[in-house]
Structure 1
Amino acid sequence: MSETTDPAGRPGDDVLYDVVLIGYGPVGQTLAALLGQAGREVAVFERWPRLYGRARAGHVDHEIMRIFQSLGIAERVERDMFRATKYVFRNADGETLLTFDWDADGISGWPSDYIMYQPSIEDALDAAVRAQPTVSVHQGWEATAIAPHEDHVEITLRESTESRSGESASGARTRTVRARYLVGADGANSFVRTRLGASQTDFGFRETWFVCDLEPNVPLDLGFDNGQVCDPARPHCLFQLGARHRRFEFALLPGEDPGRFRDPRAAWELLAPYGVTPGKADLVRHAVYTFEAKLADRWRRGRILLAGDAAHVMPPFMGQGMCSGIRDAKALAWRLDLVLRGLAADAVLDGYQAERAPHVETLIRMSVEAGRVSCTFDPEIAAARDEAFRRGEVAPPPPFPHLLDGLLDTGAGGRAAEVVGRLAPQGRVRSGGRTGRFDDVVGHGWTLLLAPGADCDLTPGQAAVLDRLGARIVALGEDPADIDGYYAGYFARTGLSMILYRPDFYVFGAAEDGAAAGRVVDALGRSIGGPSQIPAVP
């Protein structure tokens, strides 16, 4: 367990940290690694004395892989992943009702979707965090009080019961730390959210399922690899969980006692129809979960913010719960860094919820609708559902959401407006003798990207805005060379000559010709605002 000294060797309780994080799951880990990468002094506190070590989430998409790439762990985690190409909803007779096609590569430069084993992700993120000299991790401590002040937040912590081998709370060690900002990434039962005073919108979905994770000892031929079985007798799903594990999830029937599923024999009974027996696989985890759909109405109050499940929870039927939290971490990290460096007004943090909450709400609603397809226990209702799908009376799932508000050039018009708030492309390039994905070869962060052959004229003031942010101007041509024609195709399809995208890879603004590029940079300068009143931290 990392204890009470900060990276510079000072007593941890005497430090004014840039950021204190409560929670060290994948969202807290990602945010800690990103802030450490930016040189911020960060302390992380987690009630559990060690990593959880068991799978919960099971899916990441191309955007999350690009975020992992920015932390230098994408290739490591990919080795223990399974590339998914289809996720299918079938009825009890095996008819396909709905299919999510994941065959193509995503715009982020990675395959569209992967099924993963969460402990592998957490191990890789933990290594990325501990490689940052300005980040300290304190496991086995839980927050008990939060006191906001004008220029900092004070957090009181107590050694958690999980770390004290049965000692009473009265005998536990306590400590108090201070930070310019506090982020609660402490899960669905967030202590930080409670202290922030945030209420939650409940979308009216509550279903209890039994999750079984297996490590096969022999190849399993199940006849159906990845998807939902929408059988009213007992809805369930099964899928490959990373390269080495499999998961089954079974809905608990109305009135069924969750307590009986604590016995491993309940798992083997449900697995038996698939021919899965104790000799063929090890049951590495079995647990009962209640899936809910909730969204916090407030993600920020002053210097206190929320991320991940502390801000939103959704059913797992779209595989976007953890992904959404990691997006939160990426969106929050660069904002906090700019404000802490005195390069942006504190109001930049208000755009965090403004853009993330609608994005998450759309995904919650999509997840709920997908869940309702599966979670049907009445045979007559299920039969009517199946017939509606057969007749084509069910509308296809809506397109994946993009950002609509927040720190974006919302005044853009024409073709530029069509890409604002959407992910920027990542293709392969060659530069200085290196060939690879753009971010690895050229770098990542604020980027003004010019189409092959395009040019732009910026005034000294506009160039200063980009320089202030550490933005790079990249003109595709001979160096870096667009070796696969990927960028040429993107700019031809969009009719644009340049895009300006943020450190989280979302397009801030775009222009159809070089003369309009300056207007985009001006819009960025206005959006970022003047220097913050918070003293800059070197």
Structure 2
Amino acid sequence: MQKSPEFDVVQIGFGPVGQVSAALLGQGGHSVGVFERWPSVYPLPRAGHVDHEIMRIFQGMGVAGDVERHAIPIPDYDWFNGDGKLLLHMDWDVPTPSGWKSDYLMYQPYMEDALMGAVARHPNVAVHHGWQAVEIVQHPGHVEVVLREGERRDEGWTPTGRTRTVTARYVIGADGAASFTRSTTGIVWEDFGFEEDWLVLDVRPHDPDLRIDMPDAGQICDPARPVSPFRWLGREHARWEFMLLPGETAEEMTRPDKAWELLARWDVTPENADLIRRTVYTFRSLLAASFRDRRVLLVGDAAHLMPPFLGQGMCSGVRDAANLAWKLDLVLRGRAPETLLDSYTEERRPHVERIIRTAIELGKVVCITDPDAAAARDAAFLSGQVPPPPPFPWLERGVLQGGESSGPVGRLGVQGRVARGTAVGRADDVIGGGWTLLVRTAGALDALGAARRAFLAGLGAHVVHVSPAPLAAGSAVDVDLVYRRWFDALGADAVLVRPDFYVFGTATGVAALPALVDELRARLEGTAA
């Protein structure tokens, strides 16, 4: 008799996206074995931005407050030319559907402390540092992963000679841009052609409130040298990114004296700040042809790389983890067939591709070094001839009512404040996360019948009547009338929201509610027409 796999999921890699993935799967009660090549967590920042959608995901993990405590909400993202004239203004001080500020700048090590705390709360998640995957073998019902142990020596990784083999029902590759997981599956990159080297300098001012004449978040589109300055990387740090010019090398640009020379423009010196990180990154634009090969799935940088000009690299990886977690949860619990995982690539890849393409177009604006081309760019922007950036993407097709986006379907659901019993707060905290069916008509839930109620209960769904006043036991009070306005705008009486906060579908009128639930069941089971 064949032994059951040791884990439900083996995850290779434990950066921030891997931390989110492990925590979300742990919340579902699944056994997860995480294997990270490096013996300890990388202590320096890389990503610096999260948006409202990511904060709502963090909220569901119980860490949003910890992340927010060390983050700074950013109201504006301004782009200037070399003469200091404003070319492009992105207003980030806008209402969001998620119940959080639009955008935050944060210091990644503090964020990772919170994420690792979320993982540690789940004893069913075992994290093993110092183990590198060297072979992945897929079988009809499980995956076998061969690992070798290593240790850090002189900033390198040296094998100790020990190996082990583990088995799992599924494997998640969260092992970054040089992903062994991706390469061993044979999944190839699609290259969109953007590639530029940039120097990244992270600085800790001795006085956190040191006045520095720079935008809170912005771009300086100077053909002499494009620069991305961020006054706040969390509450104690700042970041500058400088484009390398032809002939410059990483060795030259990462010398401390060169770093201070570049920072002198802002009167940042060794006398008033510490230089905590200096490195050269190659900003690239790559997208995996698929995010899945049978029982192996990719998340984060293992699946996509993008220029940083939208701040969406890590955010996209967190969305991967949130999308995949609820689907794997249903498959592992026997509530959906394995074919549900086909929708992972179907949903996430087009979403990421749209972000990559937008980031590339923004990068083309920033990275102009020819003075004549820069002058033409400036003239176009200053005369208002350049259209604004496209709207942020939503889900185009997948596990959605009708199979594709239409109206609110495929867009982010709303989170307002509600009151229920003695609890008052953001809806996810009061009602709970996961599948949520919100209705605004008293008695609407009676139309579902016992079988549909049992199906929703099997999903762990919350079925909630939301109204401006408490009308029945268990109903939620719409404290700020956010939901009433939302229902009115949609012309709907019920909204069914997925665990990753995207709207599955809506129903108008009580009579349409059973069909909404029936379609959800068909979409999950793969029987929808």
Q: TM-score, normalised by structure 2?
A: 0.94
Separation in 1 of the partners of 2:42 and 2:419?
Answer: 41
Whether the 8 Å CA contact 1:454–1:497 is kept in 2: the answer is no
Q: Equivalent of 1:248, from 236, 240, 255?
A: 240
- 2: CA distance, partners of 1:315 / 1:167: 28
Match of 2:50 among 54, 60, 64: 60
1:443 is aligned to 2:443: no
Tell me the secondary structure at the aligned position of residue 286 of structure 2.
Answer: strand
2:421 and 2:102 map into 1 onto residues whose CA distance is: 29
Q: Kindly state the Cα deviation for residue 392 of structure 1 after the two structures are TM-superposed.
A: 1.8
Asked if 1 retains the 8 angstrom alpha-carbon contact of 2:48 and 2:106, the reply is: yes
Matched, 1:281 2:273: yes
Tell me the SS of whatever aligns to 1:249: strand
Which residue of the other structure, out of 7, 17, 25, is the alignment partner of 2:15?
25
Q: Given the alignment, which residue of 88, 92, 111 partners 1:98?
A: 88
- In structure 1, how many angstroms separate the alpha carbons of the residues matched to 2:361 and 2:7? 42
Indicate yes or no: 2:110 matched with 1:114: no
* 8 Å contact from structure 2 (residues 148, 161) kept in 1: yes
Q: How far 1:509 sits from its partner (Å)? A: 0.7
Aligned equivalents of 2:332, 2:494: Cα separation in 1: 29
Is 1:263 aligned with 2:255?
yes
Q: What is residue 3 of structure 1 aligned with on the other side?
A: none
- Note the 1:331-350 alignment, pairs <5 A: 331-350=323-342
| 1:443-489 deviations in Å (ceiling 9; x for gaps) | 11111101265724113332232122121110013131111111111
Task: Trace 1:317-466 onto structure 2 (pairs within 5 A).
Answer: 317-410=309-402, 417-451=406-440, 453=442, 455-456=444-445, 457-466=447-456
User: Which residue does 2:131 correspond to in 1?
Assistant: 141
**Does the CA-based 8 Å contact 2:5-2:142 persist in structure 1?**
no
Amino acid at match of 1:481: V
For the 8 Å contact 2:135–2:145, the answer to whether it is kept is yes
Q: Measure the CA separation in 2 of the matches of 1:147 and 1:486.
A: 50
Aligned residues: 515
1:162 aligns with 2:152: yes
Conserved 8 A contact 2:74-2:216: no
Paired position in structure 2 for 1:182: 171
Contact 1:156 1:176 in 2 (8 A): yes
Contact 1:87 1:100 in 2 (8 A): yes
| CA displacement 1:64-102 (0-9 Å, x = unmatched) | 000000010000110000100001111011111112111
Q: Contact conserved, 1:14 with 1:177, CA < 8 A, in 2?
A: no
Look up the SS of the partner of 1:377 in the other structure.
Answer: coil
| Contact 1:88-1:98 within 8 A present in 2 as well | yes
On the 8 A contact 1:27/1:329 being kept in 2, the answer is yes
1:508 paired with 2:497, answer no
Shift of 1:410: 2.2
Q: Distance in 1 between matches of 2:300 and 2:428?
A: 25
- Structure 2: gaps spanning 5 or more residues: none
Distance 2:511 2:247 in 1: 66
- Aligned residue for 2:265, secondary structure, equals helix
Match of 2:224 in 1: 233
Q: Which amino acid aligns with 1:330?
A: A
Answering whether residue 466 of structure 2 is matched by residue 470 of structure 1, we say no
- TM-score normalized by the length of structure 1: 0.93
Judged with a 3 Å threshold, the aligned counterparts in structure 2 of structure 1 residues 231 and 438 are, in CA distance, closer, same or farther, namely: same
Residue 72 of structure 1: which of 62, 80, 84 is its match?
62
Query: Percent of pairs identical after alignment?
Result: 52
| 2:202 and 2:238 in contact (8 A); partners too | yes
Cα gap change, 1:164 to 1:117, in 2 (>3 Å): closer
- Unmatched runs of 5 consecutive residues or more in structure 1: 1-12, 532-538
2:71 counterpart letter in structure 1: M
Instruction: Report the alpha carbon displacement of residue 530 of structure 1 after superposing the two structures with TM.
Output: 7.4
Superposition RMSD in Å = 1.8
Equivalent residue in structure 1 for 2:200, among 204, 211, 215: 211
Offset, 1:417:
3.0
Contact residue 164 and residue 172 of structure 1 kept, 8 A: no
